[in-house]
A and B are shown apart, each in its own frame.
Chain A
Amino acid sequence: AQKVTQAQTEISVVEKEDVTLDCVYETRDTTYYLFWYKQPPSGELVFLIRRNSFDEQNEISGRYSWNFQKSTSSFNFTITASQVVDSAVYFCALSEPNTGRRALTFGSGTRLQVQP
């Protein structure tokens, strides 16, 4: 069963638009960790954020913000005032260390294209 779903395969926006990338996860554990990674055209995965299951507080970092809602099993990522440099593939991921699943389970990724 797919544990991390990123339903948006590709999104295209114009610079300065706001964009939200959706992530829905599935787990039976009460302790888990959620992550977002960015993969720019250069190919290297860049860590953006980690959130544990006990911390539902939303987070803002510059133009980036994350909305974690356990009630809907979602961990969505919003980029405000998008820029061309935001163009990349974004991956949401889950780890469940208490179940022995210490590696990351990735979603299929969302390709974001920001047009100038």
Chain B
Amino acid sequence: GAGVSQSPSNKVTEKGKDVELRCDPISGHTALYWYRQSLGQGLEFLIYFQGNSAPDKSGLPSDRFSAERTGGSVSTLTIQRTQQEDSAVYLCASSSRTSGGMGEQFFGPGTRLTVL
């Protein structure tokens, strides 16, 4: 079956612009996660969605970052007024376990964001 997909695969933007990154999780997976991978910070958790529950936003680095998950499926991560330090690979993962954190997470290929 299809895995987690993300688009675009690469995004180059100018400082100060807004960007939207998309994630399509594996069909039927109730949990969706966003992570960021950068050279200096490694793999960092950003936000977690589980079903209709309020998302866990504890990993978002600033209020410029936000995310939505529509219809319990597709998710969009938005970064407003991008800064150079936002340059990273943004990874999306989904999991089938209803009790989050127990099941293995399946990762997408990531979106490489470059802020000039």
- Interfacial residues, chain A to chain B (CB-CB below 8 A): 33, 35, 37, 42-47, 50, 52, 91, 95-97, 100-109
A-chain residues with CB within 8 Å of residue B99 when the two chains form the complex: 97
B104/A102 in contact, CB under 8 A: no
Q: Taking CB as reference atom, which chain B residue is nearest A95? A: B101
Interface size class, chain B: 20 to 34
Query: Chain B interface secondary structure, helix, strand, loop or mixed?
Result: strand
What are 29 of the A-B contact pairs (CB < 8 Å)? Answer: A35-B105, A43-B89, A43-B109, A43-B110, A44-B107, A45-B91, A45-B107, A46-B107, A47-B104, A47-B105, A47-B106, A91-B43, A96-B101, A97-B100, A100-B56, A101-B101, A102-B31, A102-B48, A102-B56, A102-B100, A102-B101, A103-B33, A103-B35, A103-B45, A103-B48, A104-B33, A104-B35, A104-B43, A109-B43
Cβ 8 A contact of A103, one of B101, B107, B109, B110: B101
In chain B, what residue has the closest Cβ to A46? B107
Tell me the smallest distance from the CB of A34 to a CB of chain B, in Å: 11
Closest chain-B Cβ to A7's Cβ sits at a distance in Å of 14
Q: For A91, what are the chain B residues with a Cβ–Cβ distance below 8 Å?
A: 43
User: B108 an interface residue at 8 Å Cβ cutoff?
Assistant: yes
Distance from B46 Cβ to chain A, minimum over Cβ atoms (Å): 8
- Interchain CA distance A103-B104 in the complex, whole Å: 10
Look across to chain A and name the residue whose beta carbon is closest to the beta carbon of B44.
A106
With a CB–CB cut-off of 8 A, which chain A residues contact B59? 103
A112 and B110 alpha carbons, distance in the complex (Å): 21
Q: Given the complex of chains A and B, what is the CA–CA distance between A42 and B68 in angstroms?
A: 28
**Does B61 sit within 8 A of A, measured CB to CB?**
no
What is the CA–CA distance of A69 and B106 in the complex, to the nearest angstrom?
Answer: 26
| Cβ-defined contact, A108 with B56, below 8 A | no
Q: Which residues of A contact B106 (CB under 8 A)?
A: 47
In order of increasing CB-CB distance, the 10 nearest A-B pairs are A97-B101, A102-B101, A102-B100, A103-B45, A95-B101, A45-B107, A106-B43, A47-B104, A108-B42, A50-B104
CA distance A100 to B48 in the complex (A): 11
